Structure 1
Amino acid sequence: MKRYVLFDNDGVLVDTEGWYYQAGERALAEVGLTLDKDRYLRDMGRGIGIWAQARATGIDEQTIERQRKVRDEYYQEYLRTEAIEIEGVIEALTELAEHVRMAIVTTAKRADFELIHEHRQITDLMEFVLVREDYERAKPHPEPYLTALRYFRAAEADALVVEDSSRGLRSAVAAGIDCAVVYNEFTAGQDFAQATYRIGSLAELHAIVLAGQETTAEADRLRPQGHPV
């Protein structure tokens, strides 16, 4: 049985991945650059942001810094106005909280995270949250998840990471922690070959954390049919 569950935030607890992309796309369009979505998703998996595409076309650093702030403003606008709920999240977390200790480990900046969760109950079920300002090296480096283990004083084998991106999966694997990748349409085409489990929703975590020692057949059963993850 797993005793600790470490959740990514964006794309796992709230549906924000697409809005973050659209904010960046909008900011770069203002300086004449069309953001290549396929490259964005590949770069995302390696922990590289949209500004690599901007630099590759010769956009200067001053312009990039200005548009970075513009992107952040657009993203926060979307967070305030768009529907970002994922159905069943609160119910799944409430059920899990009876059996495990939980935390959020996210690359989101504190300002964005606080805006997302200002009127939501998700963080009430968590023991702590680690945002981008709480560690030095971001995913796919293992530091974020290793930091969470230290906070819990937990062993790798007792924990489970829940992610939706290959960047987060690589971070969990590098930290030596089992990872369940939950289906997210935006990141569905990324490489999840190293995932311990692939699930369709957080509701499936209950069986994983309680069993802890699934056979191969049971693990395969937990992989939902028809999800290209």
Structure 2
Amino acid sequence: MTVSSANSVDDSIKSSLTKLAPLEAVLFDIDGTLCDSDPFHYQAFRVMLQEIGFNGGVPITEEFFIATAAGKHNDDVALALFPDDIERGLKFLEDKEAMFRKLAAEQVKPLSGLDKVRKWIEDRGLKRAAVTNAPRPNAELLLSVLGLSDFFEAVIIGDECEHAKPHPDPYLKGLEALKASKDHTLVFEDSVSGIKAGVAAGMPVIGLATRNPEHLLMEAKPAFLIKDYEDPKLWAALEELDKAGAH
């Protein structure tokens, strides 16, 4: 079922999370999941790649950005953009991240309904961690701007794990940090690599169709997709989960 489907909430979506009861923890990606930050990444890539004459000086498209960079680890992005000079690629990405932080600090906003889901989590006393492929300075900046620095008990960085997403390692490390069980933990993710990582770590993933094409996200096998945290599908599923946990 896609975000654009009819309003009726499918019974399979309602019941898709009930096996997690009682819910113990929630893991969130950051970029594109807590906030719509991809436009700032895209802008930084577009400007800086054009400055160095990448692609003959023709600006990259959003499709190219999604295919090459969105949700991916910087080592992989460097390899894709600068296959013959990885060192140059990594240096370029460092500079790009600095430009991203400047843009994001001034403009980033939480995804619609994030406060509502935050309150739902706090009211139930659930454990929570942020799990991201972003460099730590980016993650900490975004959490600070969004007012979430104190909300998360742990911030797991792909770079600081043996393998970044799409490998399950960052999510497994998140579970370990929270001392939570994968059988009672839920993941929110917006990228193909992130959804794959959460699924590979053995957890149901709710996919956010913030920017990435729905058909690509569905191929990564999320439990279901939502548009944002106001989506009725999310609240129908959480209500069923609450009911299951009360028995």
* TM-score, normalization by structure 2: 0.74
Aligned equivalents of 1:128 and 1:62: distance in 2? 30
Q: Which residue identity does 2:198 align to in structure 1?
A: A
With over 3 angstroms needed to count, the CA separation of the structure-2 counterparts of 1:145 and 1:44, relative to structure 1, is same
Please tell me whether residue 144 in structure 1 is matched to residue 165 in structure 2.
no
SS at 2:54 equivalent: coil
Aligned equivalents of 2:123 and 2:235: distance in 1? 10
How does 1:110-149 map onto structure 2 within 5 Å?
110-149=136-175
* Pairing partner for 1:72 from 63, 82, 97: 97
Q: What are structure 2's unaligned runs of at least 5 residues? A: 1-20
* Pairing partner for 1:24 from 26, 38, 45: 45
What is the number of residues matched between the two proteins?
A: 212
How does 1:148-187 map onto structure 2 within 5 Å?
148-187=174-213
Q: Which stretch has the larger CA shift, 154-163 or 87-96?
A: 87-96
* Pairing partner for 1:199 from 226, 230, 235: 226
Aligned equivalents of 1:190 and 1:149: distance in 2? 26
How does 1:88-107 map onto structure 2 within 5 Å?
88-99=113-124, 100-107=126-133
- Checking the alignment, whether the CA contact within 8 Å between 1:46 and 1:140 is kept in structure 2 is no
Q: Which residue identity does 1:6 align to in structure 2?
A: L
- Which structure's relative contact order is higher, taking Cα pairs within 8 Å and 6+ residues apart? 2
- Checking the alignment, whether the CA contact within 8 Å between 1:27 and 1:68 is kept in structure 2 is no
Aligned equivalents of 1:80 and 1:65: distance in 2? 22
User: Over residues 20-55 of structure 1, what are the superposed CA-to-partner deviations in whole Å (9 max), with x where a residue is unaligned?
Assistant: 122122222122114354344234478464333432
SS at 1:85 equivalent: coil
Aligned equivalents of 2:94 and 2:208: distance in 1? 30
- Checking the alignment, whether the CA contact within 8 Å between 1:94 and 1:125 is kept in structure 2 is no
SS at 2:218 equivalent: coil
Residue 212 of structure 1 corresponds to 241
Q: What are structure 1's unaligned runs of at least 5 residues? A: 215-229
Aligned equivalents of 1:108 and 1:67: distance in 2? 15
Q: Which residue identity does 2:53 align to in structure 1?
A: G
Aligned equivalents of 1:138 and 1:125: distance in 2? 23
- Checking the alignment, whether the CA contact within 8 Å between 1:17 and 1:186 is kept in structure 2 is no
SS at 1:140 equivalent: coil
* TM-score, normalization by structure 1: 0.80
Aligned equivalents of 1:188 and 1:19: distance in 2? 21
- Checking the alignment, whether the CA contact within 8 Å between 1:140 and 1:167 is kept in structure 2 is yes
User: Over residues 174-204 of structure 1, what are the superposed CA-to-partner deviations in whole Å (9 max), with x where a residue is unaligned?
Assistant: 1111110022034545332311121222245
Alpha-carbon RMSD: 2.6
Identical-pair percentage: 24
Shift in Å at residue 173 of structure 1? 1.0
Aligned equivalents of 1:39 and 1:119: distance in 2? 28
Aligned equivalents of 1:13 and 1:142: distance in 2? 20
